[in-house]
Amino acid sequence: MGKIQGGATASRRQGRHWRFASATFDEATWILTVDGQAAPIEGKPLELLHELLLRAGELASKEELLAAVWPDVSVVEASLTTAMLKLRRALGDGDGDGERAIIETVPRIGYRLAAPVEMTFAAPRIDAVRTSPPAAAGLAGLGRGAVRDHRRARQAGETLRRLLLAGGLLLTLASGVALGGWAIRQPAKPNQDVMQQDAKEAIRKLDVVRIEGLIRAGWNPNTAFDTEGNGALNVLLNMCEWDPGHDRRKMVLMARTLMEAGARLDSHNMWGDTAYSIAKAPRYCGPDHPVTQMIHTECYAGFRPLGDRCLAVYQHGSHDE
């Protein structure tokens, strides 16, 4: 128990298992458990917890946490405050001001994980299935030397398999490679085309929970949905034209979720438009829509303001007004 050494320089994902207070966090599965139950929590609060665990017992400044959890994304400090609130609720930590607070607030500076932390490395998960042993008839025609060599190869494969399971080694093998009668399988990679189609449907339904699941599975909100180069934010903002009676609160929440996942505000489609130029256009959301105002704030008053890079660039490189 005690402070984990290494701080922010530690590798981000090493299959570690963390125990603190009444909670556990598993890097391999990216699951937080509180009082023995899986906690319903979004991606960014979990990333925030991970950063605090890497710095357990040390003060993490707001600037460090913003840069680590929202890399290359311009966000306001309120994003950090909101993520911290969600994390504390999941942990049952109240407002963090009590004597037994799990996460301590250092006013105007940052946060510290105050609870003692125990960290262990989990054994690697190897998806292995036993293959059929050679039939006895298949060995009957071999000489003694060939049979002996075959058995030695099987024993060597079995020894290596046990070392992999017990020694905590990481192994990347091509699908179907056999070791002494054991076939090692690689997990199937998500189908990106299917994920993109699911994301489009979720955005049009303003289904934030479904989008968060796709983000955790590796979906990139900057992937273009069409030949014009429109990413997830652009597709979302077109809803102002498709459905004038949409739920504005849900739309803002969806836009925030996409931006926190890395959706770029300075990305231009083939016509030179950005998310901000689409949002503020009267044909779409207009300047008074809350999503337009939020994007404007991110562009000009965020943690890393982009300024006029959020504006459209039309012919001859001129910006929109």
Q: What's the CATH fold of domain 7-121?
A: Arc Repressor Mutant, subunit A (1.10.10)
Give, as one character, the DSSP assignment of residue 176: T
Specify the pLDDT at position 170: 41
Q: At residue 5, does pLDDT exceed 50? A: no
Per-residue DSSP letters for 209-226? HHHHHHHHTT--TTS-SS
Q: At residue 181, does pLDDT exceed 60? A: no
Specify the pLDDT at position 161: 54
Specify the pLDDT at position 24: 92
Q: What are the backbone dihedrals phi and psi of residue 149, each rounded to the nearest 5 degrees, phi first?
A: -65, -40
**What is the amino acid identity at position 235?**
V
And the tokens for 25?
Answer: 């966090």
Is 216:208 a contact under the CB 8 Å cutoff? no
CA dihedral (173, 176, 182, 184) positive or negative: positive
Q: What is the mean pLDDT of residues 22-37?
A: 89
Per-residue pLDDT tens digits for 235-276: 999 999 989 899 999 999 999 899 888 899 999 999 999 999
**What is the amino acid identity at position 218?**
G
Q: At residue 140, does pLDDT exceed 70? A: no
Q: At residue 105, does pLDDT exceed 50? A: yes
Per-residue pLDDT tens digits for 145-176: 555 555 565 566 555 555 544 444 444 334 34
Specify the pLDDT at position 97: 58
Least confident of 96-105, 109-118, 240-249, 307-316: 96-105
Q: What is the mean pLDDT of residues 182-190?
A: 49
Superfamily grouping for domain 192-317: Ankyrin repeat-containing domain (1.25.40.20)
Give SS3 for 32. strand
What is the C-alpha to C-alpha distance for residues 136 and 255, in angstroms, rounded to an integer? 64
Specify the pLDDT at position 155: 62
Pick the more confident residue, 229 or 316: 229
What is the C-alpha to C-alpha distance for residues 125 and 109, in angstroms, rounded to an integer? 39
Share of the chain above pLDDT 70, in %: 70
Per-residue pLDDT tens digits for 60-99: 999 999 988 988 777 788 888 899 999 999 998 876 555 6
Is 266:306 a contact under the CB 8 Å cutoff? yes
Pick the more confident residue, 117 or 189: 117
Q: At residue 108, does pLDDT exceed 70? A: yes
- Of 200, 197, 192, nearest to 219 (Cα)? 192
Report domain extents, the chain.
Answer: 7-121, 127-185, 192-317
Q: What is the enclosing helix (H) or strand (E) of 129?
A: strand 127-130
What is the C-alpha to C-alpha distance for residues 14 and 251, in angstroms, rounded to an integer? 36
Q: Please, which pLDDT band fits residue 318 given cuts at 50, 70 and 90?
A: low
User: What b-and-e string marks burial along 36-74, b requiring 16 or more CB atoms within 10 Å of the CB?
Assistant: eeebebbbbbbbbbbbbbbbbbeebebeebbbbbbeebb
Specify the pLDDT at position 18: 87
Q: Which of 29-33, 55-59, 200-204 shows the highest mean pLDDT? A: 200-204
**What is the amino acid identity at position 261?**
A
Per-residue pLDDT tens digits for 36-54: 888 888 889 999 999 999 9
Specify the pLDDT at position 138: 45
Q: At residue 126, does pLDDT exceed 50? A: no
In this prediction the pTM is 0.49
pLDDT averaged over the chain?
77
Specify the pLDDT at position 128: 42
CA dihedral (67, 71, 77, 80) positive or negative: negative
> CA-CA distances (angstroms) from residue 313 to 107, 237, 266?
41, 18, 10
Specify the pLDDT at position 188: 53
What is the C-alpha to C-alpha distance for residues 56 and 111, in angstroms, rounded to an integer? 10
Rg (CA), the chain: 26
